[in-house]
Chain A
Amino acid sequence: MSHLKTLAPYEVKSRDAVENYKGKQLLYINWERHRMFSRPFVLALPPETPFSVIVDQYMTDCFSYHPDWKQIDWNTVVWQNGNTPFTPDRNKSLKENGIGHKDLIRFRTPGLDGIAGTGY
C-alpha cells in the first residue's frame, strides 16, 4: 500500500511508459561478472528487432574491448530475462522471444569471470 500523502488528488504518469518511445521499447543488457562496462546498458529498439542484432551489433560493439569476449563459447552461455532463465532464438524478434519493455537480459559465460577472475 502506498504511503504517499498529498494535499490534493495526485495523478501522474510514468515518465518511461512505452508510449513515450514512439514504437520502440527499452531493453537492458548485462554481461554477468563483467562489470567493467556501463554495466547493464540500455537500448531503445522496435520489438521486431531480431535477437541476432542485439548480439552481433550492440553487444559486440560494447563488450569486444574485454579480452574475455573472444573466448566466449556461445553454446555454453546461460541466458536470463530478469531472474527467469530463457533460451533466446537468434533469428526471432525481441517480441517473439518474449522480451518486453524494460526487460533486463542477463547472460553468463561459464568459466569467464572477468579480468583475473575479479568479476570485472
Chain B
Amino acid sequence: MDMKVAKKLGLKERYTLMTRDLAWDTTYQPMDKVFPQTAYEGIKIHDWDKWEDPFRLTMDAYWKYQAEKERKLYAILDGFNQNNGHLSVTDARYMNVLKLFLGSTPPLELMAARGFSMMGRHMQGAGPRVACQMQAVDEYRHFQTQIHSISNYNKYYNGMDEFAHQQSRMWYLSDGKSFFDDAITAGPFEFMVAIGFAFEYVLTNILFVPFISGAAYNGDMAAMTVGFSAQSDEARHMTLGLECIKFMLEQDPDNLPIVQRWIDKWTWRGTRKLASVGMMMDYMLPKRIMSFKEAWEMYVEENGGALFKDLARYGITIPKCFGQTIEEKEHVTHQSWIGFYMKPQATPFHTWIPTPDEMDWLSEKYPNTFDKYYRPVLEYLDAQEKAGNRFDNKTAPMNCQVCVSTIKFNEPGDPMEMCFRESTYQGEKFHFCSDHCQEIFDNEPEKYIQTFISSHQVLQGNCEPDGTDVNAADFKPGQNMLDYWKLDKRALGDFNGSEDQKNFAAWREQATKN
C-alpha cells in the first residue's frame, strides 16, 4: 500500500495556522470588555479580518531568523572588542556621539518594547496583535544590543555608566522621555500612528544616518553591526506602521480627521526630537557623512513627500508642520549645538568648537545660514576658550511645555528672533517653542499640564540627591545637581583637556609605536 504523505504546508497556510487561527472570540466575557481600549479613541473598526498582514512571519520562523542575526552580531562584537576596536575610531570626540546615543536611544527602545507589548495585548485583531508582539521583542533586542555594543567603550571612556539613572532626570533627556510617555499613555491607535508610523516610517532614516552610517564612517564596527542587525527589523516596523494607517482609513471615513490630527502631531513631535540627532551629524561625528540638511531633503522631503502623495487617495494631507521643518533644517542643528556647548557642567559628554576645516564644511553645506548667523558666535566662543574664559552658562533654561526642548528655536521667517508662544489654561500660563507644540497642548491640555520640566522641578526641591533635607532652613534647591544626576566629573567640560582626549591619544600611541 502506498504511504500517504501529507502535503507540506504552504507559507500562507502555515502563517494562518500559526497566527489568526490561534485567536478566538471570547464567550464568557463580551469582546469589548476584553479589549477595552479598542473603541475609546473614536476610531471605528468594522472588520478586523480586513487587516492585511504586511509580512507573513510566524513566531517559530521569527526566533530562528533573529537567533542567526544575534550569533553574527556577537561574533563581530567580540572580535572588535578583543582587537581594541575602540582605538580604531577616527577621533576620541566620536565617543561623545556614543554617550549621547546611549542616554537618548536605548531607554526609548525599551519604552517602544513596552508600548508594543501593550499593543500586542490591546489590538483586537489577531494579525496586528502578532505583528506587535514581534515588534516588541525586536525593540527589546535593539535595547540590549545597543547597550552591549557600547559597554566595551564604557571600560575606557567617561560618562557612560549612569545612563539608566539619568534617563528620567537629565534635562536634555526629557524631550525623548516626554515623547514616549506621551505615546504610551495614548490609546493603541494613536500609539501606532506615533511610533509605528510617524517615527518608524517618516523619520527613522534620519536616526539611522548618524548612528549607523556615522559608525561606519568613523570606524566603529560595533555600533555599525548593531545597526545592520536591526535594519531588517526596521523594514518590518515601517510596513506595520503604514498598514495600520491604511487599515484605519479604509475602515471608516470618520477615522480620517482623527488620524490626520495624529499625523500632524507626531510628525512634529518627531521632528523636534531629531534636532539633537541632526547635531551629531553636523557637529559631533569627526568624519561627516552628509549634512542634516541633506539628509532631511533626501529622507523627509523627497521620500516623506512621496509617501504623503500616496496617502492622498485616502484624503490625508501633508503634515501641517512640513513647511516649517523645511525652513528649520538650515538652523536647528546649529542652535542645538550652541545650546549644549553652553552647558559644560551639565552633560555627561563633552562639547567643543568645530575646527576651522569643519567650519568651512558647515559653510559649504549651509551657504544660506552658517556664515551669516552661526560662525561668528562659534568663533567668538572659540577665542574665549583659548583665552581661558570658556563659556559656562549656569542659569536654568525655559522649556516648551509640550516637546520639553529648551526654548531656542527662531521665529519662523526671522532667524534673529526667538519664537515664543503662550496659552492660558485654568488661569495658568504655559509656554511653547512653536505653533505646532501650542496646538498639541490646546488639543489636550489635561495631558501636558503634567509635563516634567527639569528646571522647574529643581526649583520645587524635587531634584535632590537621596538624604537631602528639603525643609532645612538653609536648603537651597539645585545645589547638588551633579550628585542628583550622578554625573561623573571627569565626563564634564570641554573636550579639550579632557581625560578621554588624553587617554585616547596615549593608548593609540602605545598601539602604533614602540
A residues with CB within 8 A of B: 2-7, 10, 12-18, 20-21, 24, 26, 28, 30, 32-33, 35-44, 58, 61-62, 65, 82-83, 100-104, 106, 113-116, 118-120
Q: When A and B form their complex, which 3 residue pairs have the shortest distance between CB atoms, in order from nearest? A: A119-B416, A41-B395, A116-B376
Tell me if B428 and A42 are in contact (CB < 8 A).
Answer: no
Tell me if B449 and A14 are in contact (CB < 8 A).
Answer: yes
Tell me if B377 and A4 are in contact (CB < 8 A).
Answer: no
New A-B pairs, 6, CB < 8 Å, besides A15-B456, A118-B376, A120-B338: A3-B443, A16-B453, A44-B477, A82-B429, A102-B430, A115-B377
A21 interface neighbour in B40, B335, B416, B459, Cβ under 8 Å? B459
Q: Which A residues are CB-close (under 8 A) to B450?
A: 12, 14-15
Tell me if B444 and A101 are in contact (CB < 8 A).
Answer: no
B393 interface neighbour in A21, A28, A37, A113, Cβ under 8 Å? A37
With an 8 A cutoff between CB atoms, is B203 at the interface?
no
Given A44-B459, A104-B431, A38:B406 Cβ within 8 A: yes
Tell me if A42 and B459 are in contact (CB < 8 A).
Answer: yes
Chain B interface category by residue count: 35 or more
B408 interface neighbour in A13, A32, A39, A103, Cβ under 8 Å? A39
**B334 (CB) vs chain A CBs: closest residue:** A120
Given A14-B426, A119-B373, A2:B398 Cβ within 8 A: no
CA distance A6 to B40 in the complex (A): 7
| Interface stretch (choices B146-154, B417-425, B494-502) | B417-425
Tell me if A5 and B187 are in contact (CB < 8 A).
Answer: yes
CA distance A5 to B391 in the complex (A): 46
Main DSSP-derived SS at the A contact region: loop
Minimal beta-carbon separation of B415 from chain A (angstroms):
7
- Give the one of A13, A14, A26, A83 with max B CB within 10 A: A14
B445 interface neighbour in A2, A35, A36, A101, Cβ under 8 Å? A2
CA distance A120 to B373 in the complex (A): 8
Q: B439-456 interface mask toward A, CB cutoff 8 Å, 1 = contact, 0 = none?
A: 000011111011111011
Q: B272-310 interface mask toward A, CB cutoff 8 Å, 1 = contact, 0 = none?
A: 000000000000000000000000000000000000000
A102 interface neighbour in B406, B417, B428, Cβ under 8 Å? B428
Tell me if A5 and B41 are in contact (CB < 8 A).
Answer: yes
CA distance A97 to B459 in the complex (A): 23
Minimal beta-carbon separation of B513 from chain A (angstroms):
42
Given A21-B460, A113-B416, A118-B374, A16:B396 Cβ within 8 A: no
With an 8 A cutoff between CB atoms, is B397 at the interface?
yes
B391 interface neighbour in A44, A65, A100, Cβ under 8 Å? A65
Tell me if A16 and B373 are in contact (CB < 8 A).
Answer: no
Q: Which A residues are CB-close (under 8 A) to B42?
A: 5
CA distance A18 to B449 in the complex (A): 13
Tell me if B455 and A42 are in contact (CB < 8 A).
Answer: yes
Instruction: Give residues of chain B (383-439) contacting chain A, Cβ–Cβ below 8 Å.
Output: 391, 393-398, 406-408, 410, 415-418, 420, 422, 425-426, 428-431
Tell me if B416 and A118 are in contact (CB < 8 A).
Answer: yes
